[in-house]
Chains A and B, each alone.
Chain A
Amino acid sequence: MTTTLYTSDHEWLRIEGDVATIGVTDYAQSQLGDVVFVELPKVGRALKKTEAAAVVESVKAASDVYAPISGEVLEINSELAAEPALVNSDAAGKAWFFKLRIADRSELGGLMDEAAYQKHIA
């Protein structure tokens, strides 16, 4: 089964087995404004939790996307790199950033569920 978790930095993680798919939340995209560029990590890179993993740039500013958990990058969304505006149109779906092989499941314990995240942004 699939579980979706959230960080206080407005990233979502969809957990399927030992793979986490990571993106930014709809709230994040609404704050960023029109996204014009996304830089994604290299496949195979071993990311440590809280390390800068990707960059999302709007007309206004650049923001880092941090690795919410540690793990190896298995896949990146090349469609997103070609069409950064997907972040604005479908943040929780087509605009996923990268997939990680989860290195340490205990790190998931520090993340929020949907209800806690909704409270966080309320």
Chain B
Amino acid sequence: MLAAEVSASPPPLKQTPLHALHVSRGGKMVPFAGYDMPVQFGPGVLKEHLHTRASAGLFDVSHMGQIVLRPKSGRVEDAARALEWLVPQDILALPAGRQRYALFTNESGGILDDLMVANLSDHLFLVVNAACKAEDEAHLKEHLSDVCIVEPMRQRALIALQGPKAESVLKKFDAEIPAMKFMDTAARRLAGLDCFVSRSGYTGEDGFEISVPAEAAEAFAKELLADENVLPIGLGARDSLRLEAGLCLYGHDLDPTTTPVEGALEWSIQKSRRKGGARPGGFPGATAILDQFEHGAPRRRVGLKAEGRAPVREGASLFADATSQSPIGSVTSGGFGPSLNAPVAMGYLPPSHSAHDTTVFAEVRGQRLPLRVAPMPFVLNTYKR
């Protein structure tokens, strides 16, 4: 009944600076985006998920790409203006000390990657997905090298501390931490280390993401884990937490064929970059994307709640009714939401079926299971705004 184990010699997997710590803490290691990563620890996905929502969880996200864009002119606005060639977000208006969600788009308006962009006064700091980081680096170098030095920060680890007790834990290292608001970012010294701290995350909870020097990452993580409120959390719970929070997983919910409007990410594109704004367009795929702002898109990412207990997973086809032959969409992420104690999913549907409370049917093991289009996030977020 269990998936057959692969007996062939696995491809060489990369390790994050916290790899030895994960193994010593009983992490169950699996390949993920080319890295050997913990999918869960002893307590298991369900308890790790609930612990993060109730207390604080430590996540190793060092596999993600950290990239500095350093303007050759020394003026951060030059780097910001240049980055706007590649993303539909307003980067020029991003104040120092703030972070923003952004998208690399392609010429047809599809999404190449989703990322975070922080303004750290004299440079921009980007965090991109692990599976895309090589392509993202090449993309940035190809288009921005005249204006910026593109510096991949390969010698840094990235640790996320998420949950309602994250602030009180981190405060012990830096008394200024509570003054930070959601999406604030700052260079701080924590435990004597030069860190970049942002108040953000991928769980729907209040929390922080901390970039630390690789060589000191394990000692720093151990200091965080020494707090009885903090448990290490694996990728399994990271996925169920972000799904309940309605957050996209790149490569699943978003890909080069989905546009920001299809992905229900219009909120991420500020008015200045839309038609009638101060700097409309000027990013790859602008014509297609701005046209969809006006006329709508052929499909839309929606939240889906099951009426029964059976989880509906990625890849399940969606149908308008219990008997129709042609699917109208598909599930891109789905599983069981431990905090909701119910199945949750997201997927794409045509405008005719994407309004809240519309009933559609997912095909699971030959049966049609009713699902209701539901608002996201499924679990209210607790960001400190």
Question: Do B1 and A57 touch (CB < 8 A)?
Answer: no
Question: Do B338 and A9 touch (CB < 8 A)?
Answer: no
Question: Do A34 and B1 touch (CB < 8 A)?
Answer: no
Task: Mark the stretch among A13-21, A59-67, A101-109, A112-120 that contacts chain B.
Answer: A59-67
- Determine the chain A residues whose CB is within 8 A of the CB of B152 once the complex forms: none
Q: Is B236 interfacial (CB 8 A cutoff)? A: yes
Question: Do B336 and A63 touch (CB < 8 A)?
Answer: no
- Determine the chain B residues whose CB is within 8 A of the CB of A63 once the complex forms: 1-3
Minimum Cβ distance to chain B for residue A37 (Å): 5
Among B40, B236, B336, B365, point to the contact of A36 (Cβ < 8 A).
B336
Question: Do A59 and B49 touch (CB < 8 A)?
Answer: yes
Interface residues of A in 55-80 (CB under 8 A from B): 55-66
Question: Do A60 and B1 touch (CB < 8 A)?
Answer: no
Question: Do B45 and A59 touch (CB < 8 A)?
Answer: yes
- Determine the chain A residues whose CB is within 8 A of the CB of B336 once the complex forms: 36-37, 57-59
How many of chain A's residues have a CB under 8 angstroms from any CB in B? 25
Among B1, B236, B310, point to the contact of A59 (Cβ < 8 A).
B236
- With known contacts A11-B1, A56-B1, A59-B338, A33–B40 Cβ distance under 8 A: yes
Question: Do A9 and B45 touch (CB < 8 A)?
Answer: no
Minimum Cβ distance to chain B for residue A78 (Å): 13
Minimum Cβ distance to chain A for residue B208 (Å): 25
- Determine the chain A residues whose CB is within 8 A of the CB of B240 once the complex forms: 59
Q: Is A24 interfacial (CB 8 A cutoff)? A: yes
Among A9, A34, A55, A84, point to the contact of B44 (Cβ < 8 A).
A34
Interface centre among B1, B3, B44, B343 (most CB of A within 10 A): B1
Among A11, A56, A62, point to the contact of B313 (Cβ < 8 A).
A62
Question: Do B1 and A24 touch (CB < 8 A)?
Answer: yes
Interface centre among A11, A34, A56, A65 (most CB of B within 10 A): A34
- Determine the chain B residues whose CB is within 8 A of the CB of A58 once the complex forms: 45, 336
Give the distance in Å from the alpha carbon of A24 to the alpha carbon of B1 in the complex. Answer: 9
Q: Is B46 interfacial (CB 8 A cutoff)? A: yes
- Determine the chain A residues whose CB is within 8 A of the CB of B338 once the complex forms: 34, 59
Q: Is A28 interfacial (CB 8 A cutoff)? A: yes
Question: Do B311 and A36 touch (CB < 8 A)?
Answer: yes
- With known contacts A37-B309, A39-B310, A59–B2 Cβ distance under 8 A: no
- Determine the chain B residues whose CB is within 8 A of the CB of A24 once the complex forms: 1
- With known contacts A10-B1, A33-B236, A63-B1, A57–B311 Cβ distance under 8 A: yes
Q: What 12 additional pairs, Cβ within 8 angstroms, besides A33-B46, A34-B338, A37-B336?
A: A28-B1, A34-B47, A59-B46, A59-B49, A59-B237, A59-B336, A60-B39, A60-B236, A62-B311, A64-B1, A66-B1, A84-B309
6 pairs of A and B residues whose beta carbons are closest in the complex:
A34-B46, A59-B45, A36-B336, A9-B1, A33-B44, A59-B336
